[in-house]
Chains A and B, each alone.
Chain A
Amino acid sequence: MAGMAQTNTIDGASGFAVAPGRAPDRYFKYWLIAPAILLLLAIGLFPLIYSLIVSFQRVTMLDEDYSFAGLVNYAQLFRDARLWQSLLHTAIITAIALPLELILGLLMAQLFLERLPGRQIFVSLLVLPTVISPIVAGATWRLMFDNRYGPINQILGWFAGKPVAALWTVNPDLVYLGIILCEIWQWTPFMFLILLAALSNVDKSLTDAAEIDGAGYWRTFFKIVLPAIWPVMAIAILIRGLDLVRIFDIIWALTMGGPGTMTETISVYTYVQGFQQFETSYTAAMAFLVIVLLTVIVTWAIRRMGLAK
């Protein structure tokens, strides 16, 4: 009927059709995503804020004292030698495993860059360790390291020509090697995959041109390839670095932080304090110390790696 037809217009701000005479709701899109955002904030922020509050109380196994206790837990952090040792152990593992994973991952990626027969199958097999749960990986390596039933000492014995009784999870000279071997076995494929993708996207015409101009392999790699893959490599280093700082499963399965506390990382010590010793408030304070340290390190790393540009 004449006069009854209406033509809606599209509101540029909200993107929705708006009936004539009606003011557009510019905030409608925010209303739509608000529930999801609030849920994420609740899940993410609430535990953080609650932990912060608990860190200023005195909640232990015997005593649930929720009154404000000041900085007593934070003061204890600086007197806790075991805490700083665990941070040192974490730094050692990260400093050794991360470069090794990077170099091995890069070498493997270079190897698989060319179209080789069976490449897809080999890549799939290489990636398998990454999909295994870390605790399962640790338990498997513990069995492999076992002196009586594990294959590693047996194989070493073949080469040595006599039985080898290397105690990988007890001998202080071997425990770090055992942990790092397991860690590298599991997570080098992660580096490999990311770097393979990055290397695959390097403009071949640049490397071809360099070759024509007489540049050698290493010059080409450091001057052309590395700068091209650096942003992706930096992200991979950051992700793996953070994972290594949080390492728990492999260590728990292999040594439980032993011998003594020799391989106790910050995650292992936090678990022991929080879930075995029930020092709930102190554990919360430890967690915040780690958050602060990591924030500083990550911020520095992001700037240093040029990821902030």
Chain B
Amino acid sequence: MKFLKRLTLTAAVGLAVGWTATAWAETAAERAVNEAKKYSGTTITIVWEAGLQALDPLNFSGPKWKELTGIEVKVVEAPIAEMFTKIMQEYRAGTGAYDALNVVPAWMPDLANAGALEVLDPYVDKYGFREELQKIAPTYRDNQMTVDGKIYGFPDDGDTFVFYYRKDIFGDPTNQAEFKSKYGYDLAVPTTWKQFAEIGQFLTDKYQPNMYGAAFFRSPGYGQYMFQERFRNEGGKFFDAETMKATINSDIGVRVFTEMRAENKFMPPGVEQFGFVENLAAFLQGQSAMTLSWPPYGRWAAGYGQDVEAFSWVPKSTIAGKVGYALPPGGHPQLAAGFALSVASTSKNKEAAYLFIQWLNSEDVSMQRVQLPYALRDPFRDSHFTSAEYEAKWPDAKAYLATLKQGAETGLLDLSLLQTDKYEEVLRQAISKLWAGDDPKAILDQAAGEWDAITDKIGVDKQKAIYQGWAAKSGAYPQ
């Protein structure tokens, strides 16, 4: 009898282990698909950035998900500047119009504290996704996923600023000799902003008007990211951690602002109006020798995917094979925006929405998505950076991925506080005043004052706790 009891117990344990092992033998993507089939016939709505970003769910992941599970994916496109507003408005209205969301990680504290995002931990555990989440590159995993220790989103876009330069121009022996003669050091990828300015001026003096030393997107929305990056690389701190007084108007901030404006002199005329597309066009058409931007520039400069119809608006690259990739001067690029996949707390299809984002973010599916020629999702998992398939996409793809990986490892997080957008709006206006010719010190003094007013309104102690938590992260300030 005793033996029979032991045998039964052993068999039961064995079955349980075997069942669990079988269940977890399937990948997270497969698990999501199998579990989602019970929701076949339903429709889930996902908010996605308008334009190229949305081509992923419209042309690839949405149709594929429907094919696999029978769930229709409806994409609500919104310009990035309006996404936060739309998400908050829908949450306040409580209509349940949105199921899954794309969320810029810097918005997460605000959205999570407002209650707009669903806590994902129970779903992650239920569907066994924790292990795959650990394989997201640490910078994104540790800093763009949780608020107060709870998971609110899956990092899904490895945004980081990359420094692009013309290898052929830098490698030209005549340029090298002339530069060395004038400045006393080798013409190479600049590691400081002083070097960048000297190289930029040198190349502009030699090649203008056909080519300028550099061009950047200077419109305020992008410029404020560049200020955040450069200010911190130069040693600046956003706040005094004890008093929460803004310190962006320090000598460092003033110097950064002054230098940023001075650099416009060797950039193409009208660079102050350059947005993403204008800067891209200038670089792809060989009109600038150096630039800074998100990873897609590197793919498009290499000519990758340019035969796709969705890219008919992108100027054809005249510099394929001539582009080098590096970290920006200072060595710590801004991670600049990025996206995480979340579930709306007011969704009426939370589980279906969760399973969709687990599938999207899984190793298998994300590997395909970051290689889509028309989408803007950039590598964000360790496996993406070392993918043999990706490395074979164009001759320099391996070096490109290596640079992205380096950027992910050394990158600086976007400032993320309560009501971050209010602080960023002040920076956007400061940038536009800078291009308008106002005095940098006066601009930053006013900006610091406005930041202090925002902090006072939110509550100094409340914001201080959030800031100290953010500043303690390894990617907040250069280590």
Which A positions have Cβ atoms within 8 angstroms of B? 61-62, 64, 146-148, 163, 165, 167, 169-172, 258-262, 272, 275-278
A62's partner among B281, B419, B421, B437 (CB-CB below 8 A) is B419
- C-alpha gap A276/B429 in the complex (Å): 14
Which B residues lie within 8 Å of A147 (CB)?
Answer: 269-270, 273
Q: Are A163 and B269 in contact (CB under 8 A)?
A: yes
9 further interface pairs, Cβ-Cβ under 8 Å (given A170-B432, A259-B436, A278-B85): A62-B113, A62-B114, A62-B458, A64-B92, A148-B270, A148-B281, A165-B269, A167-B435, A170-B436
Q: Are A259 and B435 in contact (CB under 8 A)?
A: yes
Residue of B220, B435, B436 contacting most chain A CB atoms (<10 Å):
B436
> Could you tell me which residues of chain B, from 232 to 291, have a CB within 8 Å of some CB in chain A?
268-270, 272-273, 278, 281-282
The answer to whether the Cβ of B299 comes within 8 Å of any Cβ in the partner chain is: no
12 A-B pairs with CB atoms under 8 Å apart are A61-B88, A64-B92, A146-B270, A147-B269, A148-B278, A167-B273, A170-B432, A258-B429, A260-B433, A261-B429, A275-B85, A278-B85
Which A residues lie within 8 Å of B458 (CB)?
Answer: 62
Which A residues lie within 8 Å of B270 (CB)?
Answer: 146-148, 165, 167
A169's partner among B88, B113, B273, B425 (CB-CB below 8 A) is B273
The answer to whether the Cβ of B178 comes within 8 Å of any Cβ in the partner chain is: no
Given the interface pairs A259-B432, A276-B425, the reply to whether A172 lies near B269 with Cβ below 8 Å is no
Given the interface pairs A61-B110, A62-B110, A276-B421, the reply to whether A172 lies near B436 with Cβ below 8 Å is yes
Q: Are A167 and B272 in contact (CB under 8 A)?
A: yes
Which B residues lie within 8 Å of A62 (CB)?
Answer: 110, 113-114, 418-419, 458
CB distance from A274 to the nearest CB of B (A): 10
Q: Number of residue pairs across A and B with beta carbons under 8 Å?
A: 64
Residue of B92, B110, B220, B432 contacting most chain A CB atoms (<10 Å):
B432
- C-alpha gap A262/B429 in the complex (Å): 10
Given the interface pairs A148-B278, A167-B270, A171-B436, the reply to whether A258 lies near B220 with Cβ below 8 Å is yes
The 8 closest A-B pairs by CB, nearest first: A147-B270, A259-B436, A165-B269, A260-B433, A258-B432, A259-B432, A172-B436, A170-B272
- C-alpha gap A277/B268 in the complex (Å): 34
> Could you tell me which residues of chain B, from 59 to 81, have a CB within 8 Å of some CB in chain A?
none
Which A residues lie within 8 Å of B435 (CB)?
Answer: 167, 170, 259
- C-alpha gap A276/B80 in the complex (Å): 12
Which A residues lie within 8 Å of B425 (CB)?
Answer: 272, 276-277
Q: Are B437 and A172 in contact (CB under 8 A)?
A: yes
CB distance from A151 to the nearest CB of B (A): 14
- C-alpha gap A53/B285 in the complex (Å): 57
- C-alpha gap A276/B268 in the complex (Å): 32
- C-alpha gap A275/B88 in the complex (Å): 10
Which A residues lie within 8 Å of B432 (CB)?
Answer: 170, 258-260
- C-alpha gap A276/B221 in the complex (Å): 14
Given the interface pairs A163-B269, A167-B273, A172-B437, the reply to whether A260 lies near B419 with Cβ below 8 Å is no
Interface of B is mostly: helix
Q: Are A260 and B269 in contact (CB under 8 A)?
A: no
B273's partner among A170, A272, A276, A278 (CB-CB below 8 A) is A170
CB distance from A235 to the nearest CB of B (A): 37
Which B residues lie within 8 Å of A277 (CB)?
Answer: 419, 421-422, 425
The answer to whether the Cβ of B461 comes within 8 Å of any Cβ in the partner chain is: no
Q: Are A259 and B433 in contact (CB under 8 A)?
A: yes
The answer to whether the Cβ of B26 comes within 8 Å of any Cβ in the partner chain is: no
Residue of A nearest to B450 (CB): A82
Residue of A nearest to B418 (CB): A62
> Could you tell me which residues of chain B, from 404 to 439, have a CB within 8 Å of some CB in chain A?
418-419, 421-422, 425, 429-430, 432-433, 435-438
Which B residues lie within 8 Å of A262 (CB)?
Answer: 436
- C-alpha gap A146/B220 in the complex (Å): 16
Q: Are A278 and B437 in contact (CB under 8 A)?
A: no
Which B residues lie within 8 Å of A163 (CB)?
Answer: 269
CB distance from B25 to the nearest CB of A (A): 45
- C-alpha gap A276/B458 in the complex (Å): 16
Which B residues lie within 8 Å of A148 (CB)?
Answer: 268, 270, 278, 281-282
Which B residues lie within 8 Å of A172 (CB)?
Answer: 436-437
Which A residues lie within 8 Å of B85 (CB)?
Answer: 275-276, 278
Residue of B114, B269, B282, B458 contacting most chain A CB atoms (<10 Å):
B269
Which B residues lie within 8 Å of A64 (CB)?
Answer: 92
Which A residues lie within 8 Å of B436 (CB)?
Answer: 170-172, 258-260, 262
Which B residues lie within 8 Å of A276 (CB)?
Answer: 85, 421, 425
CB distance from A62 to the nearest CB of B (A): 7
Bitwise, B348-388 to A at CB < 8 A (1) or not (0) is 00000000000000000000000000000000000000000
Residue of B nearest to A280 (CB): B92
Bitwise, B81-94 to A at CB < 8 A (1) or not (0) is 00001001000100
Given the interface pairs A260-B429, A260-B432, A276-B425, the reply to whether A61 lies near B278 with Cβ below 8 Å is no
Residue of B114, B270, B422 contacting most chain A CB atoms (<10 Å):
B270
Residue of A148, A260, A272, A277 contacting most chain B CB atoms (<10 Å):
A260
Which B residues lie within 8 Å of A146 (CB)?
Answer: 270, 273
> Could you tell me which residues of chain B, from 97 to 137, have a CB within 8 Å of some CB in chain A?
110, 113-114
Which A residues lie within 8 Å of B418 (CB)?
Answer: 62
Which B residues lie within 8 Å of A170 (CB)?
Answer: 272-273, 432, 435-436
CB distance from A293 to the nearest CB of B (A): 25
Which B residues lie within 8 Å of A61 (CB)?
Answer: 88, 110, 114, 419
CB distance from B416 to the nearest CB of A (A): 15
Residue of B nearest to A146 (CB): B273
Residue of A nearest to B110 (CB): A61
CB distance from A270 to the nearest CB of B (A): 14
